[in-house]
Every structure is written in C-alpha cells, then in structure tokens.
Structure 1
Amino acid sequence: MAKLTTIAFDADDTLWQNEQFFRMTQDRFARLLADYAEPDHLQERLLAAERRNIGHYGFGIKGFVLSMIETAIEITEDRVPAAIIRELMEAGRDMLEHPIHLLPDVRETVQSLAGDFRLLVITKGDLLDQERKVAQSGLGDLFDGVEIVSDKTPAIYTEIFARHGTGASEGMMIGNSLKSDIIPAITAGSWGIFVPHAMTWELEHALAPTDHPRFKELQNLGGLKPLLTTIL
C-alpha cells in the first residue's frame, strides 16, 4: 500500500481559470497590430519572444506584457505608436485585476482533503499576482503552504515536499501542465496527477509519461477522491 501525506496543487488552470485571459489579451494584441502583421505570424513572433524572455522575466503577466511590447517594436520596425504601447500596458493591468473563477469541483475537493493531508499550492508566476489570486480564491485558509517558484524542477519538488511534508515519495502533485507539474514531480519521486485544461500555453506541452506507475490522469478534480481510494 502506498503512503501519501502531502498533496500539492498547481494554481493557474488547475484551481482557477487563467490561460483564457492570456488568449483574450492576445486577440486584443492582434487587433492592435492588424495593420502590421497577420494574426498567425504575430502569434508566432510573440511566442518566440516569450520563449526568449522566460529566463529574463520569468513566468506571468508582467513578462507577457513585456514580450508583447517587444514583439510590437519588432513587427513595426521600431515605429509602433505610443498609443499601442499604452493600450498593451492597460491590457496587462486588466489581467492583473481580473476576478478569480474557480474551476469545477475545486472548492469541494480541496475542502474534502483538508485535515486528512497536508495541502500545498505550488505555482509559477509573479509573486504579487499569485498571492492576490490565492487570497481572492477563498481557498487560502485550506492550504498549509503556498510556494511561488521561478520554475518547477525535480529539485524544487524534492525540496518543497521535504520541507512541508515527509518527502517526495509520500507526496502528490496535481496540475494541468505535463512539462511543469507532472514530469518533474514524478522524476522527484512523487505521484503526478494530470488534469488537462482546454487551454494550455504552448510552452507547457510535453508527452505524457503514460507508462510510469505514478502517473494518473483525471478529467477534472471531482475524480480525485475516488482515485485516492484506488492507490492508497
């Protein structure tokens, strides 16, 4: 019988909606730059800028806005109007102020686990923005710890599960990103529970480790409690 003491959740697009607001802002970006580039080409250039800038700006809205501005400068060959730059900055502020929309079964599932397991949030992104989301979600008091990290690696999961729990081998990570939430957590020795989201950032795609005994997939968090009865 497996032993499980600590359950960690990704935040964005696992507990609440997130990527849809990036997509909405990308559509706004495409409209603003419509005179300079076709939407598909603009999207390719923006994704390339994001990939380039992760090491400089990290993950989150602020880095996204800076990548949009950089792309706008490149596409217009340094002639982007100041009004467009201003609107891109306003778009970023709108994203930072957007209310939290929990995903189905999230509140009920987290509440049902509280007290039986140590519950964590492990998320990437901007510190202030992620703290705001946790506070506004109404779930904050149910978690024993919130870890906002610059990246998700096996070493990060090993350290967090050791500090908050009884080690990665007795931990579980739940998230919508195979690349960040599942594969490195399994590599560290924990369970990895993949809960796919309809919208996932291209840079988070990876092949599912379907042959690994500690990999499981659920359609939504409502299936977590039944899953636990089968593996514990």
Structure 2
Amino acid sequence: MEIDFKAIKVIGFDADDTLWVNETYFREAEERFAELLEPYETKNKIDQELFKMVMKNLDLYGYGIKGFMLSMIESALELSNNEIPQTTLAKLLKIGKEMIAKPVVVLEGVEDVLKKLNGNYRLIVLTKGDLLDQERKLVRSNLSDYFHHVEVLSDKKEKNYQDLLAHLEISTKEFLMIGNSLKSDVLPLVHIGASAVHVPFHTTWKHEQVTAPKKTSGYITVQKLTDILAYL
C-alpha cells in the first residue's frame, strides 16, 4: 500500500526527538549514573543493570524521567548491596530533577513545518511519558498553538492508536503519523491501516530499536522533518 497523501486530513506528531531533543539527556544521565556507581561495578555492568531495572519497572512507572529516576535509585541500591551513601542517592535525585528542568530545544525545521501545515491539516501531538512533564515541555516549546489536540499515551501500541483514533473520530485512511521511532511511531500505525513518516533521530533508546522491515509499505523515511513538505 502506497501512501495516498491527498487523502490525509489529520497529522499526528510524536514529541520527544521529533519536535524537541529528549534522548540525549537520558544518555547524559546514564553516564553520570555510571560515574557515581564506579566504586561498585564496571561501566558495562552498570549500564546493563540500569537498563534491566528500567525495563522491569516500565509496567509500574511507565515512560518518563520520574520512572527513570526511581529505577536509578533502585539499581544503585542493588549494585551497591544497599551500601550506597545517602549523599550519592541525593545526587541521583538531583540528576532527575535537572533532567526535568532542562531547556526545551526545538529541533531544526519543526516550526517551519508546523506553520506551513497549520490550517491545511488538523495537527495533533501523540506522545508517551509523564503527563506533567510532557505538558510542561509543550508549553516551554512555544508550539502549543499549532495543535488541535494533545494526547499523552501510556504506550504506543496498535490498540492505543486504535482507541484514540476512534475516540477522536479519525479515519485511519485520513491519518498520518510522524515520528522518530519505527517501533512506536511507524509500524503500529501501518499495521492498523494508517500511514506514517519516519524521521530518524541520531540517538535511539535501546528499547525503541527495531530492524526496519524489508517489505512493509505504508510509510516512508525522510532524513529531516522539512522533507515531508514535498509530500504534503
């Protein structure tokens, strides 16, 4: 199935690493975490155990900085056999708070694209993560006025998209999703009969990494967000 761009009426945008920088801050936090835990394990082991802890806690805390912060603390306790000093735990909390306070850096070309599409399409934000943090970032980005609707999902699986599109009375044939993750922003949409545009970001979280299917149609990959204007 090729994308019928003329049929598109509603465009959904992922937020983190599609509209603004996000994953870079998590990688920086992981480096700082490894430095603090150096007395107890090797960096490779620390990285592996933190990732395992985040995955174990995902169903409990969901996506976002707060869950990541709690996983850092729990992982530190395990790696240190509960001997981690309180001062180090305080530093881990500080890392999380500093992540939340990071400036929102809008990616190049984002506002130009939104300006040109606004008025011709219904634009919505479909993201996952912590509700308060995502709402805060949207306000700081100064992009709120371009969007008709903002939805923070608990996850981005086929049923999440199906339920939301049904709730918003959006036909899959008229919907296009734009995002940096094949796993979360592209393949689930293609599987339910919608269309998608993949805009890769230079850093991708391990949990979001998948191999691009060889024969799947219904989506295209562009190198930068402004490239979509050639199709819309």
Q: Which category of TM-score, normalised to the shorter sequence, fits these structures?
A: over 0.9
Long gaps (5+) in structure 1 = none
Long gaps (5+) in structure 2 = none
Q: Do structure 1's residue 107 and structure 2's residue 129 form an aligned pair?
A: no
The equivalent position to 2:18 in structure 1, one of 14, 17, 20, is 14
Tell me how far 1:121 sits from its aligned partner.
Answer: 0.5
SS at match of 1:199: coil
Tell me how far 1:165 sits from its aligned partner.
Answer: 5.1
- In 2, distance between residues paired with 1:147 and 1:220? 24
- Aligned match of 2:120: 116
Q: Do structure 1's residue 48 and structure 2's residue 72 form an aligned pair?
A: no
- In 2, distance between residues paired with 1:186 and 1:200? 20
1:110-141: CA deviation from partner (whole Å, max 9, x where unpaired): 11101111101000000000000111111101
Matches within 5 A, 1:141-152: 141-152=145-156
Q: Do structure 1's residue 201 and structure 2's residue 180 form an aligned pair?
A: no
Q: Do structure 1's residue 214 and structure 2's residue 218 form an aligned pair?
A: yes
Q: Do structure 1's residue 185 and structure 2's residue 183 form an aligned pair?
A: no
Q: Is the 8 A contact 2:172 2:193 kept in 1?
A: yes
- In 2, distance between residues paired with 1:5 and 1:165? 12
Tell me how far 1:40 sits from its aligned partner.
Answer: 1.2
| Residues 209-218 or 123-132, more deviating | 209-218
Change (3 A) 1:17 1:85: same
The root-mean-square deviation of aligned C-alpha atoms, in Å, is 1.2
| TM-score in terms of structure 1 length | 0.95
- In 1, distance between residues paired with 2:9 and 2:37? 50
- Aligned match of 1:58: 62
Percent identity between the two aligned chains: 40
The equivalent position to 2:35 in structure 1, one of 28, 31, 34, is 31
Tell me how far 1:159 sits from its aligned partner.
Answer: 2.5
SS at match of 2:7: coil
